[in-house]
Amino acid sequence: MDKKDQSRAALALIGFAVLSFVTALFFNVTTGALLSENLPPAGGIVGPIRIDSDRTVLQIKVAQNVPRNGPGNQVTGVVLDETKNALFSFGEEFWSESGYDDGGSWAEQKTSYDIKITLQKGSYFLELDSENPNASPSQIQVTVKKKGGSAIPFFTAGIIALIIGVIMNEMAKGSISRGLKNMEGHSNRWG
């Protein structure tokens, strides 16, 4: 393969990478809420969530406000099948802190988390449980949205194609190495 063909192939790979990234963005878009409910601070079960096709990607958002500088709270979720058998679980801790230091006042908090899951056709439930239900009088909010699909394969293909395309382009044209040599030459004259 001559330099001209190598350069064309590199540009084609870079174009493919851009197309893969755009496709990944498309699949990352939500297509609407399937479920949005508020549960008591102790948690509960929501659903059913009906899935019409295999390999449906869902984004689950769980949120709960916790008092500033109070105890935190771990909210875990379990995905249940239509007979309410546990399939898998997820969870994170919520907290809210503030204080003063040499730089003045500060505040940090984590009061929500998102996960993406892929499910097959069927009906599902979510069971949310609070580790410390007395930590917050606030309800637990859960929202389930359907995504366009999984963006991971397209994003991965885009990264690989971009790396290979840049390497092939450098091998064909050598523009990066010429630029580095020019910079080195200029620095030697002034150094």
Q: Which residues is 83 bridged to in the sheet? A: none
Q: Which of 13-17, 59-63, 131-135, 162-166 has the highest mean pLDDT?
A: 59-63
* Two tokens, residue 98: 């503030």
Instruction: Please state, rounded to an integer, the average pLDDT across all residues of the chain.
Output: 80
What's the mean pLDDT in 138-142? 90
- 105 and 168 assigned to the same domain: no
165 and 137 share one domain: no
CATH number for the domain including 103? Answer: 2.60.120.260
pLDDT band at 98 (very low <50, low <70, confident <90, very high): confident
E strands present in the chain = 30-39, 43-51, 56-63, 73-80, 86-101, 104-110, 112-119, 122-130, 140-147
Asked if residue 156 and residue 132 are part of one domain, the reply reads no
**How many domains does the chain fold into?**
2
Residues 37 and 88 in one domain: yes
pTM of the model: 0.63
Residues 4 and 61 in one domain: no
Residue 162 has pLDDT above 70, yes or no: yes
Asked if pLDDT for residue 95 goes beyond 70, the answer is: yes
Same domain, 21 and 54: no
pLDDT band for position 186 (cuts 50, 70, 90):
low
Is the same domain home to 13 and 35?
no
Domain of residue 132 covers 30-149
pLDDT of res. 27: 63
